[in-house]
Amino acid sequence: MKAVYPGSFDPPTNGHLDIITRASKLTDNLIVAVLNNPSKKPMFTVDEKIEMLKELTKDIPNVKVASFSGLLVDFCKQNDCKIIIRGLRALTDFEYEFQIALTNKTMDKDIETLFMPTDTQNLWLSSSVVKEIATFGGKYDAMVPKIVKDRLEEKVNKGEC
């Protein structure tokens, strides 16, 4: 079974990494797909996100990192993939995720979205929270891998955020 785990990953957090690790055990091949959407004004470029994700997943042989723009269902088709993995945190994620899943299903009935519940320790963890803490000099060591923290600090020190 081949699956795609799409997202903004701006930046990747321990929450993302947990979903990737668990999903990789259930699938033969997992593509972590970084959405290229400049209108979201991301802190990290797609190339930076890909670099970080490749480094973070280098020891998981069945994980591949790629980027996509446009419709996710088209990316799935191009990669011969019928499963989309999404992580769910608190109930607040549910309505949004349900809407996207049903929309994707309407566009391509062969594609299934599978939801994985977050690990309890990542329940309130999001990329935006991490960015906010980093910008204001707070402590967030437990939220992201070390290489992501170093990159974030570099951005903050350079005044790029």
Residues that contact ligand ADP, how many (by CB under 6 A): 17
Q: What does the per-residue mask of binding to ligand ADP show for 82-101, with x meaning CB under 6 A? A: ----xxxx---x--------
Cis, peptide link before residue 6, omega less than 30° from 0: no
Query: Is residue 144 a contact point for ligand ADP (CB under 6 A)?
Result: no
CB of 123 to ligand ADP, least distance (A): 7
Residue listed under structure tokens 């990789």: 24
Distance between CA atoms of residues 87 and 42, nearest Å: 20
CB of 2 to ligand ADP, least distance (A): 18
Strand partners, 112: 83
Residue listed under structure tokens 């769910």: 88
Contact in structure between 152 and 134 (CB atoms under 8 Å): yes
Query: Is residue 57 a contact point for ligand ADP (CB under 6 A)?
Result: no
Residue listed under structure tokens 């803490």: 133
Cβ closest to ligand ADP, residue 139 vs residue 157? 139
Query: Is residue 22 a contact point for ligand ADP (CB under 6 A)?
Result: no
Catalytic residue numbers, as ranges:
16, 40, 89, 127
